[in-house]
Amino acid sequence: MADRILIALPDGRWLALDRDAFAAALAAGAELTAGPSPSPAAFASEPLLDADQAAAQMSVSARWLEDSARAGIIPHHKLGRFIRFRVSEIAEHCRISGAPIPRPTDSQSVTPIRRLARQ
């Protein structure tokens, strides 16, 4: 067993791999996860948007964006008590996870209440 690598599985069992199989699995995993990663300069050029601005670009309600961010469903940036979004990050997340970008909703009943609260 000295020439094997032991990997703990979530259910309490163990997986024993020889070094060659482990190296091959690492290489295969690296190939699967190696996608085009955006450069930091690309993020620097895209502004952080509030929920209303991002919702207008994505044709969803601002409430859906805020609720999804609080639930940890979509990527967001928390700046103190403010939540900010990058539309490209949300679109990329939806593309990778296979989740469709939500269709436009009728938020007529929500919008006036939110706007009154902000005034």
Contact 79, 72 (CB under 8 A): no
CA distance 87 to 46: 9
* Domains held by the chain: number: 2
Both 64 and 92 in a single domain?
yes
Both 26 and 47 in a single domain?
no
Both 74 and 17 in a single domain?
no
CA distance 53 to 40: 22
Both 60 and 92 in a single domain?
yes
Question: What's the pLDDT tens digit per position in 29-67?
Answer: 888 777 666 666 666 678 899 999 999 888 889 999 999
CA distance 95 to 101: 8
**What is the domain extent for residue 24?**
4-33
CA distance 37 to 118: 37
The pLDDT-based confidence of 84 (bands split at 50, 70, 90) is: very high
115 within a domain of the structure (yes/no): no
Flag whether the pTM goes above 0.85.
no
75 within a domain of the structure (yes/no): yes
Both 101 and 59 in a single domain?
yes
